[in-house]
Structure 1
Amino acid sequence: MKLNMKKSFNLYNKIAVGIVTLVLFGACNKDFPNLLQNFNEAKDSPEIRDKVLLVIVDGLSGPAVQDIEPANLTTYTRNGLVTYGSLADPTTDFEVTNTSVAATLLTGVNSVKNKVNTDDLSVLNTAEYPTIFSQLKNIGTGRKSTFFTTSDNYANYLGKDAVVAKGADDKTVIASAIKNLSTDSADFNVVHLAQVEQVGRQYGFGKTVPQYVDAVTEVDKQVKELVESIKARQSYSHENWLVVVTSGKGATSTDPVTDFTAFGDAKRDTYTLMYSPKFSRKILPRPSAKDIPFAGNATRYTYASNNQVVSKLDDLNKFNMGAGSDWTITLFLKYNVANGSYVYPSFLSKRAAGFGGVGWNMFLEGGYWGINSSIAGQAFGPNINDGEWHALTTVIKRSGSQDSLYVFTDGTNASVSGKVSQVTVNANNLDNTAPLTIGYLGSDGNTNADISICNVQIYNRAFTFDEVKRYGGVTHIDQTFPFWNDLQGYWPGYDDVNTALLTEKTGRAGNFKIKGPVTWTSFNELVPFFQPPISESFFRQVPNAVDVPFMIYQWLGVTVQSSWNLDGKSWSPNYTQIRN
């Protein structure tokens, strides 16, 4: 009897749990029409047709979308893979345009391959890299494509092998697309919208510009109208839709640049959403170049009596700077003891003795630095004795109308209070027979200094202020560097650890020989102004424009052939999990 009662109780319990589960599941499923039916049907079922809507919005800034939080796009992120920091292009080789990005979005290759890096589409290399429209036609799958745009250029050069509908403005483009999407059988549909860019050019970009916010809000409504027209299709229950909303280029910005990688270019900073009712939310944050550490080794220079560490060149004539030439000297320096205060020790010089005679010497005074020379008064930077790395740059400009000597610290012309960072130079000749020297210089300074120095560079040109800001923090220089041909001596020192040499990398100057009880410091630190090397994989942590075609092919069930030489990769969204 007890056994029968237990069986009955278990049966009732299972029925009750099943009813509750069905009620809860039904309540949760209201926002996802046809989700259960579509999810449970086999992907390769003949009743299911894969389809894609790609919306390209010119001038749509990823950070601005994140700040504005347009209602419908935000809702779609519940079922989407989204990033507010996708990349139109991962390089900094050219200024991206909406046109160059559109060429990438529709060919799946970068501008080096498709040849479009301006607004000129006539150079588009479709012979080697066909558009998605052409590729779908060429592989003979019977898939059809439509293209809605306001641009004659886009229609003529990008729209080949698609049914093109051209409108006078975004409103007519949307109306045409909605009408078509409601009934048409096309598998790949592209809608190109230009109004956000036009508004941005006229009024500005970003959340603080009301007109730009209104334009983004209007696009948000238009995207909803497109999605609703898809869901209203009679055949929708037998279709598998992916909706991609992405930017042409991003914003045009006048804000000061602090990140000189592709992520710091507002025009490359875009928005990408890949939406399907079958997805769950997945947000891909943009990585920061400021999170990449400056790592390596540096020579430690100490100044104790009769025990100094000094590096010198053998050639006494090297880096004689004459009477009328331009020069730029950059090095990285760190006080090994934070808050150290030193009285006039020189750390880089070409002079027989500091603070007198022909030549020049860079030195430390208290917690700040300066340069003394026979061609000018002294110029000073700010305090650098915080125990952190700093980039120190001296520019000697004598070939122009205003001859001056400048010092820059971490890309700024800041100076300690009461001092100046720019001084006028005279016509004196700097040539002398003293060797170029790093570290202790006889007859000056106290003996307590303890510093590390690396990445010494000497150029026979005067950098501009903008060039110092842009390149003064570059930690590794090679032949791709824009001023490599002007670089007359380069001693990074990173790989010379535990030797008595600083190896020169250009072949234009000799090695430094280190004397004294040399030791080396190793470091792995975040330095805001510095620009350590960044691998290509860093820029692939978020979707790039070249990835969008790859995802579209994948969604449509088209196998991407290696012979196509596409540059993109696939991204894996989170799928909703439904358990029976």
Structure 2
Amino acid sequence: MNMKKGFTLTFALKCFGLASVFGLILTTTGCNKDFENTLPQTFKNDTAGLGAGKKVLYIVVDGITGAAIKTLAPANIATINAKALYTFDGLADDKRNVITNAAGWTNMFTGYDYTKSNVTSEDFAGLNLATTPTIFTRIKSSLSTSRTVSIASTPLFNDKLAGDATIKQNVSDDAAVKAGVVAELNTNNPTMVVAQFHSADIAGAANGYTASTPAYATAIQTIDGYIGEILTALKARKGYSGENWLIVVASNKGGGVSGGSAGSNIYNDPSRNTYVAFYNPRFSKTLVNQPDPSSYPFTGSAIRLTSTTANNGVAVLSDANIGDFGTTGDYTFVLKIRSTASNQSNYAHFCGNMSNYSAREGLNSTGWDLMTWGDSYYLSFAGGYTISAGTAIRDGKWHTLAFKLFNEGAVRYVSLFQDGKKITSVDITGKNLTNPAALHMGAGKATVATDGTDLWFRDMAIYNIAMTDADLITNMKKEISFTAPNPDKLLGWWPSNEGTGLVLKDLSAAKKDFAVTGSASWGYFLEVSPVVGGNITDLAFKNVPNGIDIPVLIYNWLNIAVPQQWGLMGNLFTPTIVLPTN
């Protein structure tokens, strides 16, 4: 093929299965003059340029967090990023146990996490290389003339993982790693060179893993200098113009407090936060970020309770004491609600313990209620319509309503919140928020035909503390969960997402359920909104490069066919690349 133009290969994230080579989309484009001319003019346009001259330089930077790299912007790493698919939000893995150096190394050199490699402790206990072979082993068995070299400042790294490397060198420190890599590039013809740097992790463990920690920042900048010297030696190779190098720079793990509870956001685990870059002079700059938390959809089933002049749907709690807030004490109440009514309504007491829930009126002199007023609502208590929210909820969208009760000395206050904003605080000293009636959801029957309600309910929770304003504002848009703040303070939690039946289960320790009667049904919804969102799921942690993803790309780069029975656990990240042709 003789063309005057190159090809642009489009970036895609693929779940790795049977594919063993880059599956990329080709479109013609003008030659990009900004790229360094490092590939030979006779470079053949086979699949992603697979062919002679493909090599790998794999630089492992132990304990360097992506957050620190982002803040410090070391000069040589910044140069790499300009022609790389890279991330500051990478993950050592997507697990919630305590991460170790050994586990991080094993992830990134086998393509299997600890659930298959069994490695969790620093001594590599449980490692079975027969079932989870390393990159060195796979290359040795697949490429008969290959030369793989591993130069490490941590002897255990080589001893446990580099047994099938052609050459392995245990050296005294990171400076010696750099010197060894430079010597290898100057004198030999390697297929893959691995450099393992450990000084930043030592500094971080002793002083803290933050960019503002001088010892840690200095160690990172020193390693960046070593990377610069290695890149200079690489480009000075006599045969460099005929070679095609994939350069991988990746942390084995981050640093700091490690591990989390079930369902926790792994992106918030600093010990797993990594920097990963896949570089080649012909790659385009592609930054991969973690998903925006505001983009998580709020989706699922919800109980839908309607009211007309003829009938109404209501859910009544089995224990009339829950939701009684008395005249003193600290509490927090949270509820997600959606109104799809065609008309405004008034005096529809849709949640609380103060009203007669079979009709619109009938307020008692004690207790509390949330009540519709036009397109908005009131927080009512002790027989009066006291706090006007002043914000619309009859718009067909989900909203989170919340209030907290707290005492300051002898004065009791209620603060009302909606959709991540504090509306007001009111002195309610002396008001009694206890009532013999049970807590309910759903409005009473309408007084006129145009006053009906159509309300969807989700995620009601009551806590026996007054959350801080900051915690409530930050977390109220999310779904309640046992990983949300203060799960031990729940007096009741009703997700109301069963999707079938007439019981709304209480997932708190109290186990007091709502019974649904009347005009009720289940509805499905999906909404992406800045004011309400679903919780993060484990699939979100696959959106960025994990340690186990790195071997997948290396095998593809070296054109090593990967049979499905290998069972690699990683995904294939493929950069944007421009290939010259002539």
Q: Give the counterpart of 1:542 among 538, 541, 544.
A: 544
**Aligned with 2:126 (options 116, 123, 127):** 123
Matched to 2:115, the amino acid is V
CA deviation after TM superposition for structure 1 residue 190, in Å: 1.7
Alignment of 1:249 onto 2:249: no
**Structure 2 residue aligned with 1:86:** 90
Question: What is the TM-score with the length of structure 2 in the denominator?
Answer: 0.68
Q: What does residue range 450-529 of structure 1 map to in structure 2 within 5 Å?
A: 452-457=455-460, 474-475=478-479, 490-493=494-497, 495=499, 503-504=503-504, 512-515=515-518, 524-528=527-531
**CA displacement 1:308-332 (0-9 Å, x = unmatched):** 744134x855876899xx9986531
On the 8 A contact 2:302/2:497 being kept in 1, the answer is yes
For 1:290, which of 290, 294, 305 is the aligned residue? 294
Q: Assess, with a 3 A threshold, how the Cα gap between structure 1 residues 487 and 543 changes in structure 2: closer, same or farther.
A: farther
1:565 aligned partner, one-letter code? G
Q: Is the 8 A contact 2:304 2:457 kept in 1?
A: no
Residues 38 and 224 (structure 1), Cα distance of their counterparts in 2 relative to 1, 3 Å cut: farther
Aligned with residue 574 of structure 2, among 562, 572, 575:
572
The alpha-carbon distance between structure 1 residues 556 and 453, as it changes in their structure 2 partners (threshold 3 A), is: same
- Look up the match of 1:270: 274
Instruction: Say which of 414, 417, 422 aligns to 2:425.
Output: 417
**Structure 2 unmatched runs, 5+:** 6-29, 357-361, 407-411
Could you tell me how far 1:470 is from its partner in structure 2?
A: 9.2
Task: Kindly provide the amino acid, as one letter, of the partner of residue 223 in structure 2.
Answer: V
SS of 2:547's equivalent in the other structure is coil
Conserved? CA contact 2:494–2:505, under 8 Å? yes
Within-5 A mapping of 1:5-404: 28=33, 31-38=36-43, 48-91=52-95, 93-117=96-120, 119-137=122-140, 141-162=144-165, 163-200=167-204, 202=207, 205-206=210-211, 214-250=218-254, 252=256, 261-295=265-299, 298=302, 309-313=312-316, 316-317=318-319, 330-333=334-337, 346-350=349-353, 389-391=398-400
CA-based RMSD of the aligned residues comes to 5.5
2: CA distance, partners of 1:371 / 1:544: 51
Change (3 A) 1:322 1:478: closer
2:41 alignment partner AA: L
For residue 551 of structure 1, the aligned residue among 538, 553, 561 is 553
Q: CA 1:408/1:110 → structure 2, altered by over 3 Å: closer, same or farther?
A: farther
Q: Tell me how far apart the structure 2 counterparts of residues 133 and 164 of structure 1 sit (CA, whole Å).
A: 11
Equivalence for 2:13? none
- 1:192-229 CA-to-partner distances (Å, cap 9, x unmatched) read 223334444525524x6666555443333222211222
Deviations 1:265-309 (A, max 9, x none): 4444432221223434444344323113324565666788x5674
Report the Cα distance in structure 2 between the residues aligned to 1:203 and 1:101, rounded to whole angstroms: 19
CA–CA distance in structure 2, aligned partners of residues 368 and 120 of structure 1? 61
Q: Deviations over 1:79-134 (max 9, x none)?
A: 4333333333235x334444432221011012322233454532334342122223
Secondary structure of the corresponding residue to residue 164 of structure 1 = strand
Query: Any stretches of 5+ residues in structure 1 without a counterpart?
Result: 1-16, 19-24, 374-378, 398-403
Q: 1:381 to 1:100 in 2, by over 3 A?
A: farther
Check whether the contact 1:113–1:125 (CA below 8 A) recurs between aligned residues: no
Partner of 1:9: none
Conservation of the 8 A alpha-carbon contact between 1:82 and 1:282 = yes
CA contact (8 A) 1:86 1:544 kept: yes
Alpha carbons 1:407, 1:413 under 8 Å: kept:
no
Pick closer, same or farther for the CA change 1:381–1:179 going to 2, 3 Å.
farther
Contact 1:71/1:220 (8 A) holds in 2: yes
Between the aligned partners of 1:332 and 1:41, the Cα distance in structure 2 is 55
Whole-Å separation in 1 of the counterparts to 2:229 and 2:143? 31
| Counterpart secondary structure, 1:233 | coil
Q: Deviations over 1:359-404 (max 9, x none)?
A: 775678997876969xxxxx9998875766444568999xxxxxx9
Instruction: Give the letter for the 2:568 counterpart.
Output: L
Rounded Cα–Cα distance in structure 1 between residues aligned with 2:297 and 2:101: 33
- In the TM superposition, residue 244 of structure 1 has moved relative to its aligned partner by 0.4
Aligned to 1:546, the other structure's residue is in SS state helix
- Distance in 2, Cα, partners of 1:408 & 1:112: 46
The residue number in structure 1 matching 2:564 is: 562
Q: Could you say which residue in structure 2 is the equivalent of 1:376?
A: none
Letter in 1 for 2:576: N
* Counterparts in 2 of 1:449 and 1:224: CA distance versus 1, 3 Å: farther
Q: Report the Cα distance in structure 2 between the residues aligned to 1:99 and 1:105, rounded to whole angstroms.
A: 10
Bigger mean CA offset, 193-202 vs 511-520: 511-520
The corresponding residue for 1:14 is none
Percent sequence identity is: 23
Q: What is the distance in 1 between the residues matched to 2:456 and 2:334?
A: 11
SS state of the match for residue 246, structure 2? Answer: strand
Distance 1:425 1:534 in 2: 42
**TM-score of the superposed pair, with normalisation by structure 1:** 0.68
CA–CA distance in structure 2, aligned partners of residues 101 and 407 of structure 1:
46
User: Quick one: distance in 2 between partners of 1:164 and 1:406?
Assistant: 67
Q: Is the 8 A contact 1:296 1:523 kept in 2?
A: yes
* 3-state SS of paired residue (2:457): strand
Match of 1:530 in 2: 533
The answer (yes or no) to whether the contact 2:461–2:480 under 8 Å persists in 1 is: no
Query: Is the CA contact 1:358–1:431 (under 8 Å) kept in the aligned structure 2?
Result: yes
Counterpart of 1:455 in 2: which secondary structure?
Answer: strand
Amino acid at match of 2:157: Y
Q: Give the helix-richer structure, 1 or 2.
A: 1
Larger deviation: 172-181 or 132-141?
Answer: 132-141
What's the secondary structure of 1:165's corresponding residue? Answer: strand
Greater Cα radius of gyration, structure 1 or 2: 1
Structure 1 residues 187 and 412, CA, compared in 2 at 3 Å: closer, same or farther?
same
Distance 1:384 1:260, change over 3 A: farther
Q: Aligned to 1:31, what secondary structure does the other structure show? A: coil
Q: Which has the higher strand share?
A: 2
CA–CA separation in structure 2 for the residues paired with 1:281 and 1:559: 27
